[in-house]
Structure 1
Amino acid sequence: MNKINELFHKHYALISYLIFGGLTTLINIVTFVVFQSYLSVNYQFANVIAWFVSVIFAFVTNKLWVFGSKNTHVSGLIREVLSFFGFRLLSLVIDQLIMTIGVSVLHLDASLVKLFDQIFIVLINYIFSKLFIFKKS
């Protein structure tokens, strides 16, 4: 039991990122499907709406529970918010490219492309967050 506890604490950021990343992905996909399939919003615009909603959720959960950022100074918070949204904008560009190629070029189902696209996006967002945004001082 000690070994399991030790492994959990050693890999806490990764484990919690997978949990909250999974929830973020679920929020992203559900928001996308609601706007694209039920409200008939263009898939690219629905993707941006889903991105915005999920990024807000992701910032809060990543800051508080995944990477445990204790940064409370205004300048530090501004740096975290700007870098978080900046890197998430970069992943949005990649997300939009995958969606456009999958839906407009390959003529695949938008919801299916979105599902596979999110696997890649979760991985690159973890790398961005771990190495650049919530890095230990």
Structure 2
Amino acid sequence: MATVHARTGCRPTGATTSTTDLDLLVVYYTEMLGAVLAFEQAATPSAPRGAVIDVGGNDHLMSVETATAPITDLAPLGNGGWGIGVATHAQMCEVRARILSDGWPVGQIEMLPAQWTMNRRDSDGRPVDIRAHRPRTASPSPGSG
């Protein structure tokens, strides 16, 4: 299962988004990225229809259905507004292959100093950064060198 983290400078236990098509958003995160629908609530006179998606790592994504399209701008640093973590480079390759086979566009896997990353947009067009941390290399001991 992929783990989703909102980019806010700290690791949240959840985040809330809006969508004009809650069913499509749930399908995207559950079928494409392996998350689990944890809870769904019908609309009431005082609250919109909503869903909580368990994205692993004790994190969740809550989304409410609205008539207004969500903001799909890039994050302040020009990259995805969400970070979806996968465990390994091999798992990232599997996720990329699944995205492509389902007909969705996705960027190439890029190697950065500490991680591999690729970018795509979710079903609402929000930018998503999918990444896997690279294995750490052993640091030389203080007495060696």
Q: Do these two structures clear the TM 0.5 threshold for a shared fold by scoring above it? A: no
Which structure has the highest helix share of the two? 1
TM-score (norm 2): 0.27
More strand by share: 2
TM-score, with length taken from structure 1 = 0.28
